[in-house]
Amino acid sequence: MNNKLVLLITFVCLVGRSLAQDNPRPNIVVFFVDDLGWQDTSEPFYTEKTPINKSFHTPYVERLAKDAVKFTNAYATAVCTPSRISFLTGINAAHHRVTNWTHPKANTPTDNEDNLLLPPDWNINGLSPIAGIPHTVYATPFPQILKDNGYHTIHIGKAHWGAAGTPGANPLNLGFIVNVGGHSAGHPQSYYGEQNYGNIPGKASHQAVPDLMEYYGSPIFLTEALTQQAIKAIQTPIDRKTPFLLNFSNYAVHVPIQPDPRFVQRYLDQGLDANEAAYASLVEGYDKSMGDIIDFLKEQGVYDNTIIIFVSDNGGLSLHPARTNASHTQNLPLKAGKGSLYEGGIRVPLLIKGVNQKKGITRDTPVIMEDLFPTILHLANISNYTTVQPALDGQNIAELMSSKKQDAKWDKRILVWNYPNKWIPTDGPAINFFSAIRQGDYKLLYDMKNGRLELYNLTKDIGETDNLVHKMQSKTTEMSRLLAEQLRSWKAQLPTYKTTGHPVPFPDELK
Amino acid sequence: MNNKLVLLITFVCLVGRSLAQDNPRPNIVVFFVDDLGWQDTSEPFYTEKTPINKSFHTPYVERLAKDAVKFTNAYATAVCTPSRISFLTGINAAHHRVTNWTHPKANTPTDNEDNLLLPPDWNINGLSPIAGIPHTVYATPFPQILKDNGYHTIHIGKAHWGAAGTPGANPLNLGFIVNVGGHSAGHPQSYYGEQNYGNIPGKASHQAVPDLMEYYGSPIFLTEALTQQAIKAIQTPIDRKTPFLLNFSNYAVHVPIQPDPRFVQRYLDQGLDANEAAYASLVEGYDKSMGDIIDFLKEQGVYDNTIIIFVSDNGGLSLHPARTNASHTQNLPLKAGKGSLYEGGIRVPLLIKGVNQKKGITRDTPVIMEDLFPTILHLANISNYTTVQPALDGQNIAELMSSKKQDAKWDKRILVWNYPNKWIPTDGPAINFFSAIRQGDYKLLYDMKNGRLELYNLTKDIGETDNLVHKMQSKTTEMSRLLAEQLRSWKAQLPTYKTTGHPVPFPDELK
């Protein structure tokens, strides 16, 4: 063989080797926060920094925002499980029919009793990756697709995708290779290592956090324990140059509102009462987790090639006395909070840091939880995949991350919510038996129990105080038709009247 | 470029690719059974098939034996944690000082009260992969070395390597990437899915089995649930052509002796009472797990390239009433059972199927649990590794798997046990405060509490009935010296007299 040939072969083989080692597939890290309100960070998602923003201290959200696209009109559902399942499946909650939070145990409804209405026969067991499990939505979760494409898929923290007694209870059945701390429960029994996160014989509830035995009896707060586990878990794929997914959901900031001892003093010093200081300390604890994990990505040299998503699963809790101040003031300027279809219950912070993408830009296009499924797969350069769910309701929003002018289709797009359930014993504001639609500036809410509509121009009236139903009758008619058509096309479930057994009317059927 | 050149480059690159895909590193599957006695299979490990062998039905052990090397003189320690830690660290229990089983909770001794002796200050917290944790042995577990060498390392079932509140409680800290069901406890609270394996709010003990939420409320026995999890977990590395370690330890056949409903009827029909039928059903359940996993390896085409080890962590339980018949008759012809340094407590079944190795041969060379560490790494072709433990006590026994004549060194080798602990309230036979040594045909036991020695020729007297101490005084002296020297060189711990605080004499110091 001549020298030129040897050189050429060497070159070809080296190039081949280099391509195999420097995997073009980006890592994906999702900071999926629980119950974090739209105002609960020091980074403003509103047009200005509000007094609520100023009461929080989240330097790492601020830092991430500088490298990311900020979505100021991002939405989830009003409570956690529906959002979590929309995230994993790309299906809207009206369509997947897990419309309420799921009980840790199978076949256990979570609705409160209502005097007038009966919730529909919704999917009380959550998501299932196996067909034929009663009361579940059968769907392919996106982590399974990533896993099938060679990703090392890691779930850390709260799962709450399926009820115990069904396959979806276990993240390992949903496409994750590694699971630490995730099971069928929606909140921790305790954030304290001293209390074994609830795992005390004879006292453990369904919410006792699994795994983490090495922290039992220690002063390590749950938030920090799960952060350490996350960093350990991603070390393996980083060392192996395998692309990875980290879904990080460390239980904070859901009740029980227990103070994170590392951070609570700052807020007591600020003058917050013990309860609000505890809440703010949970928020800062989550922020610190995010900072530590991102610092680790930077130290390991993989930050640039990592997509990072920061999002919450529903609006901030606004119930007094769980929160200190008057109910439904915790998300101002947004109205109400978790459980409500007013903005306080469904609008959530969303940041997406891509790879080689425009940094620090803000988008006010309305986007919704189920959009993350196609967006993540697009950003991971995976286009050839199949799902058992026939079509995704979510849209790929990656194009909104570029600086080019937005396609007109986004202005016409409708977003829909359906909450035919009874979350808390007392109704309102926009809590229990509501559906809603957003298109462009406008949002229509349908109060199923009272047969009433409300229309708001969110751009002018983010606080939903000026009901335009009477001033804008044709807009009201048009939007109630759009909402009804979408609900009908998804075969969305409506509550029924206890007396007749008939469903409530669709919003375009009101007399 | 001419055609010849294109072809040549294509060829070179294809060869490179093929080498990268067909990984030469074998997979390793360890069936690490809990409390399975030397006689508790239908495959005989003795020179003949005994009545006890005949009462069990383990077709998959029999099938594996045909492809494996059978070690008829394989040893573990008398109780579980010491063995499990010797397995993971390559260190003898006298040396690693986890001489007794560890409590699920940190800093909690498990010794019973004795009237005369006080157990030493042993490593009650088990194994730690982190330095400086009180009352632990700090060591590098072999799964960590496999992981560092690119293995996908999976633990399924009972772990019991460290107490909750220490890092060793969590298999993910011991070199495993995946853990299902392993924590700090040594047995399951319940084998029944209907009882959530113990995870019932308010009733869960330290032994409630973690993970497995999808089986809660189902009729799936723990043995089967963990088998399904194992098969799912190994699918990923098989698909990715990554070598893997599966450490499969599905809790059976440890107490609680609960009938495996799939198999119990056979034994009731055989005339066993409910308790013994339940025990035999646990054994057959384990056997079925092994069959299912091996069948899966065959279906996936990876069986030939997989090393398979079948072993138990100590002798079979021989206490009445936990077992039905008179105490210490359950392992005949071996004397006594779990907890004893007589053969019934420490001799265990061991099969090793290698890759391209002599099949169906039997070896009577004495080998011991800590040998598996260097043997596994040797069989995995990993020779360049470091450990924080300065030297391994275990020997690479891979050469015993060939048909060539055995090196004389194996006849001279000594095996040592040290059990300076009080396992059960009532002493004997060879239970509580014993040490022992085996060399060649001979075994010497030292009863620390009573200051007595016993010597047996195991080849002639496997039942340890003919104490040769008086007939063979010089052999007794020599072996007590060998035992004492080894214990001294390892700084092995001895119990102390309560009255004086002085340790019991070494076996060569007896008057």
Q: Which residue of B has its CA nearest to A167?
A: B214
Mean pLDDT of A178-192: 98
Q: Which residue of B has its CA nearest to A240?
A: B150
Instruction: Express each pLDDT in B447-487 by its tens digit.
Output: 999 999 999 999 999 999 999 999 999 999 999 999 999 99
Q: Which residue of A has its CA nearest to B150?
A: A240
Contacts of residue A216 in chain B, CB cutoff 8 Å?
A: 105-106, 164-165, 169
CA A52 to CA A32: how far, in whole Å?
A: 21
- Find the CATH number of the domain harbouring A107: 3.40.720.10
Mean pLDDT of B291-302: 98
Range of the domain at A477: 414-509
A25 touches chain B (CB under 8 A): no
In this model, does residue B8 exceed pLDDT 50? Answer: no
Contacts of residue A168 in chain B, CB cutoff 8 Å?
A: 214
Mean pLDDT of B60-75: 98
Domain presence at residue B317: no
CA quadruple A79, A81, A86, A88: dihedral sign = positive
For chain A, give the mean pLDDT: 95
B194 touches chain A (CB under 8 A): no
Residue B310 pLDDT: 98
Are B360 and B494 members of one domain?
Answer: no
Are B41 and B88 members of one domain?
Answer: yes
Q: What's the pLDDT band for A405 if we cut at 50, 70, 90?
A: confident
Instruction: Express each pLDDT in A450-468 by its tens digit.
Output: 999 999 999 999 999 999 9
Residue B12 pLDDT: 43
- Considering only CB atoms, A213 lies closest to which of B164, B199, B201, namely B164
* In chain B, residues 401-420 whose CB comes closer than 8 Å to chain A: none
Instruction: Express each pLDDT in A229-284 by its tens digit.
Output: 999 999 999 999 999 999 999 999 999 999 999 999 999 999 999 999 999 999 99
Q: What's the pLDDT band for A3 if we cut at 50, 70, 90?
A: low
Q: Mapping DSSP to helix (H, G, I), strand (E, B) and coil, where does residue B262 land?
A: coil
Domain presence at residue B431: yes
Which residues lie below 8 Å from residue B53, measured CB to CB, with a gap of 6+?
B39, B41, B42, B43, B44, B46
Residue B404 per-residue DSSP state: S
Domain presence at residue A233: no
Structure tokens at B18: 């093929």
Cβ distance B214 to A12 less than 8 Å, yes or no, reads no
Cβ distance B233 to A206 less than 8 Å, yes or no, reads no
* In chain B, residues 94-133 whose CB comes closer than 8 Å to chain A: 105-106
A interface test, pick of B125, B155, B176, B214 with most A CB neighbours within 10 Å: B214
Dihedral angle over CA of A478, A484, A489, A493, nearest 10: 170
Q: What's the pLDDT band for B141 if we cut at 50, 70, 90?
A: very high
B interface test, pick of A149, A200, A213 with most B CB neighbours within 10 Å: A213
Domain presence at residue A137: yes
Integer-rounded Cα radius of gyration of chain A: 23
Residue A429 per-residue DSSP state: S
A169 touches chain B (CB under 8 A): yes
Query: What backbone torsions phi and psi does residue A472 show, to the nearest 5 degrees?
Result: -130, 70
Residue A24 pLDDT: 77
Closest C-alpha among A180, A187, A208, A215 to residue B200? A208
Mean pLDDT of A112-121: 98
- Considering only CB atoms, B16 lies closest to which of A16, A232, A233, namely A16
A150 touches chain B (CB under 8 A): yes
- Considering only CB atoms, B205 lies closest to which of A167, A201, A236, namely A201
A214 touches chain B (CB under 8 A): yes
Closest C-alpha among B483, B492, B471, B489 to residue B510? B483
Instruction: Express each pLDDT in B321-345 by its tens digit.
Output: 999 999 999 999 999 999 999 999 9
CA B161 to CA B81: how far, in whole Å?
A: 6
Cβ distance B216 to A20 less than 8 Å, yes or no, reads no
What distances in angstroms separate CA A511 from CA A153, A451, A457, one per listed residue?
51, 9, 24
Cβ distance B214 to A167 less than 8 Å, yes or no, reads yes
Contacts of residue A196 in chain B, CB cutoff 8 Å?
A: 164
A19 touches chain B (CB under 8 A): no
Q: Do residues A420 and A122 lie in contact, with contact meaning Cβ atoms separated by under 8 Å?
A: yes
Number of helices (H), then strands (E), belonging to chain A: the values are: 13, 17
Mean pLDDT of B262-287: 98
- Give CA angle at B349 (B344, B350), nearest 5°: 145
Of the candidate ranges A79-88, A428-437, B3-12, B295-304, the one whose mean pLDDT is the lowest: B3-12
- Find the CATH number of the domain harbouring A490: 3.30.1120.10
Closest C-alpha among A101, A87, A91 to residue A30? A87
Are A271 and A418 members of one domain?
Answer: no
A211 touches chain B (CB under 8 A): yes
- What number of CA atoms fall less than 13 Å from residue A138's CA on the CB side? 7
Min Cα–Cα distance to chain B from A443, Å = 39
State in Å, rounded, how far the first CA of chain B is from the last one.
90
Contacts of residue B198 in chain A, CB cutoff 8 Å?
A: none
Q: Which residues pair with A417 in a beta bridge?
A: A436
A245 touches chain B (CB under 8 A): no
CA B327 to CA B345: how far, in whole Å?
A: 13
Q: What's the pLDDT band for B358 if we cut at 50, 70, 90?
A: confident
Cβ distance A233 to B172 less than 8 Å, yes or no, reads yes
Q: What's the pLDDT band for A176 if we cut at 50, 70, 90?
A: very high
Residue B502 per-residue DSSP state: P
Residue B260 pLDDT: 98
Are A454 and A467 members of one domain?
Answer: yes
- Considering only CB atoms, A183 lies closest to which of B147, B203, B213, namely B213
Cβ distance A211 to B210 less than 8 Å, yes or no, reads yes
Residue B131 CB coordination number (10 Å) = 8
Are A359 and A448 members of one domain?
Answer: no
- Considering only CB atoms, A150 lies closest to which of B217, B233, B240, namely B240
- What number of CA atoms fall less than 13 Å from residue B4's CA on the CB side? 2
Integer-rounded Cα radius of gyration of chain B: 23
In this model, does residue A8 exceed pLDDT 80? Answer: no
CA A421 to CA A432: how far, in whole Å?
A: 6
Cβ distance A210 to B214 less than 8 Å, yes or no, reads no
Q: Mapping DSSP to helix (H, G, I), strand (E, B) and coil, where does residue A476 land?
A: helix
Domain presence at residue A396: yes
- Considering only CB atoms, B213 lies closest to which of A5, A16, A184, namely A184
Domain presence at residue B338: no
Instruction: Express each pLDDT in A481-496 by its tens digit.
Output: 999 999 999 999 999 9
- Quickly list H helices, A67-158: 80-89, 93-96, 142-148
Domains in chain B: how many in total? Answer: 2
Q: Do residues A120 and A420 lie in contact, with contact meaning Cβ atoms separated by under 8 Å?
A: yes
Are B437 and B398 members of one domain?
Answer: no
Instruction: Express each pLDDT in A380-396 by its tens digit.
Output: 999 999 999 999 999 99
Cβ distance B213 to A20 less than 8 Å, yes or no, reads no
Q: What's the pLDDT band for A511 if we cut at 50, 70, 90?
A: confident
Domain presence at residue B88: yes
**Percentage of residues of chain B with pLDDT beyond 90:** 93
Are B389 and B451 members of one domain?
Answer: no
- Considering only CB atoms, B183 lies closest to which of A105, A213, A236, namely A213
Mean pLDDT of B360-374: 97
Query: What backbone torsions phi and psi does residue B330 show, to the nearest 5 degrees?
Result: -80, -15
B205 touches chain A (CB under 8 A): yes
Q: Which residue of A has its CA nearest to B229?
A: A172
Q: Do the bridges between strand A178-180 and strand A152-157 make them parallel or antiparallel, or are there none, so unpaired?
A: parallel
Min Cα–Cα distance to chain A from B195, Å = 11
Contacts of residue B232 in chain A, CB cutoff 8 Å?
A: 172-173
B170 touches chain A (CB under 8 A): yes
ipTM: 0.93
Q: pTM of the entire structure?
A: 0.94
Q: Do residues B187 and B255 lie in contact, with contact meaning Cβ atoms separated by under 8 Å?
A: yes
- Considering only CB atoms, A213 lies closest to which of B170, B201, B218, namely B170
In this model, does residue B4 exceed pLDDT 70? Answer: no
Closest C-alpha among B256, B130, B82, B161 to residue A213? B161
Are A71 and A215 members of one domain?
Answer: yes
* In chain B, residues 171-190 whose CB comes closer than 8 Å to chain A: 172-173, 177-180, 183-184
Mean pLDDT of A280-296: 98
CA A433 to CA A452: how far, in whole Å?
A: 11
Instruction: Express each pLDDT in B213-249 by its tens digit.
Output: 999 999 999 999 999 999 999 999 999 999 999 999 9
- Considering only CB atoms, A13 lies closest to which of B13, B178, B214, namely B13
Residue B504 per-residue DSSP state: P
Residue B3 pLDDT: 52
Min Cα–Cα distance to chain B from A227, Å = 14
A interface test, pick of B205, B206, B213, B218 with most A CB neighbours within 10 Å: B213
Contacts of residue A240 in chain B, CB cutoff 8 Å?
A: 150
Taking one residue from A and the other from B, the number of pairs with CB-CB distance under 8 angstroms is 125
Are A387 and A489 members of one domain?
Answer: no
Domain presence at residue A310: no
Are B390 and B459 members of one domain?
Answer: no
Are A472 and A403 members of one domain?
Answer: no
Are B454 and B400 members of one domain?
Answer: no
In this model, does residue A131 exceed pLDDT 70? Answer: yes
Min Cα–Cα distance to chain B from A250, Å = 17
- Considering only CB atoms, B8 lies closest to which of A9, A147, A180, namely A9
Cβ distance A177 to B178 less than 8 Å, yes or no, reads yes
Structure tokens at B214: 């999808």
Q: B179-216 burial, b for 16+ CB within 10 Å, e for fewer?
A: bbbbbbbbbbbbbbbebbbbbebeebebbbbbbbbbbb
Query: What backbone torsions phi and psi does residue A443 show, to the nearest 5 degrees?
Result: -140, 130
